[in-house]
Amino acid sequence: MNNTIELLDEVKIGLRKTFEANHNNNNYSANYYNEFVSDKDLRQCLIIMRKLAKEEGKVLSEELTNCRTVEEFIDQMYLMNDAFMDSMVGVSNLFNEYSNYLEDNMYHVEIVKIECDVPVDLTYQNIVRDLNNCDKRIADKDYSGAITSAKTLVEGVCKEILNILGEDISVENYNLPKLFNHLSKHLNLDSSNKSFEKSLKEITTGLTKVIQGLAEVRNLSSDSHSKTVNPSFHHAVLAVNSAKTVTSFLFHTYEYQKEKGILQTSLK
């Protein structure tokens, strides 16, 4: 999210420089509208603003947010403001509002919003729903429910990959740690592998501990058992982000090894 604020600030400065150059040169050529800021970066900023405005329940000017080029943006700002300085101030106010919003909400945005792509061919029943539920339940302050969704997310991914690899796990009672350990062997992630470098072995061992922790914290404080601990916001965020990190890693590992043809489709 720091990169988002930097982008907003850089485009703001670039637009102000463009306004100034345009104001000082009546014959300002269209070829120079992108001297200080690209059309692509401007469009990215406008996408960010539209999304944030929607979160805040605000309505942005369609004339501005529908602009596709810097030249169109400059023209619209001049139409909306009679004076050069009004346009300069208008640009600063528009961009600063959302930069300040991101800074004020940095803690929540930075911790909660971890992206995790779900490949189309790896949809296990309600994995996508559980992925969305993780964030939704935190937003709704349903911290126990968020922990349940986090655990279900990882469990579903493990089951789906094993299912694709031809494993019939329905005949056995697999808990989450057992599922993960079994999948690790298929994905060549078994920490007992002697060919692993020390750093990689430490990472895979750490993933195993995260899985164990997810299973235990879910049993202690999720909404699917009698709670002995009432989870707080930071407990739920930790569980959700851990689940997303593990899930993302499993997806990418599966895709990479499938492409390389090194998946262990059968275990001895």
Give the residue extent of every domain in the chain: 2-104, 115-260
User: What is the mean predicted confidence (pLDDT) over 168-194?
Assistant: 78
User: What is the mean predicted confidence (pLDDT) over 153-161?
Assistant: 84
Going by pLDDT thresholds of 50, 70 and 90, the confidence category of residue 92 is very high
> Residue type for 14, please?
G
Rg (CA), the chain: 25
The CA distance from 39 to 33, in Å, is: 9
| Residue 33 in tokens | 């509208």
Q: Is the pLDDT of residue 38 over 80?
A: yes
Supply the pTM of this predicted model: 0.51
The CA distance from 143 to 89, in Å, is: 43
CATH code matching the domain that covers 115-260, chosen among 2.30.40, 1.20.1740, 1.20.120, 1.25.40: 1.20.120
pLDDT, residue 109, reads 36
The answer for 188, left when phi > 0, alpha when psi is -120 to 50, beta otherwise, is left
Higher pLDDT, 135 or 110: 135
Burial of 123 (0-12, 13-18, 19+ CB in 10 A): middle
pLDDT, residue 145, reads 86
Name the least confident of 138-147, 169-178, 197-206. 169-178
User: What is the mean predicted confidence (pLDDT) over 62-75?
Assistant: 82
Name the least confident of 15-29, 94-108, 224-238. 224-238
pLDDT, residue 37, reads 92
| Residue 113 in tokens | 């919003």
Name the least confident of 118-122, 152-156, 229-233. 118-122
Q: Is the pLDDT of residue 258 over 50?
A: yes
Percent of the chain with pLDDT over 90: 6
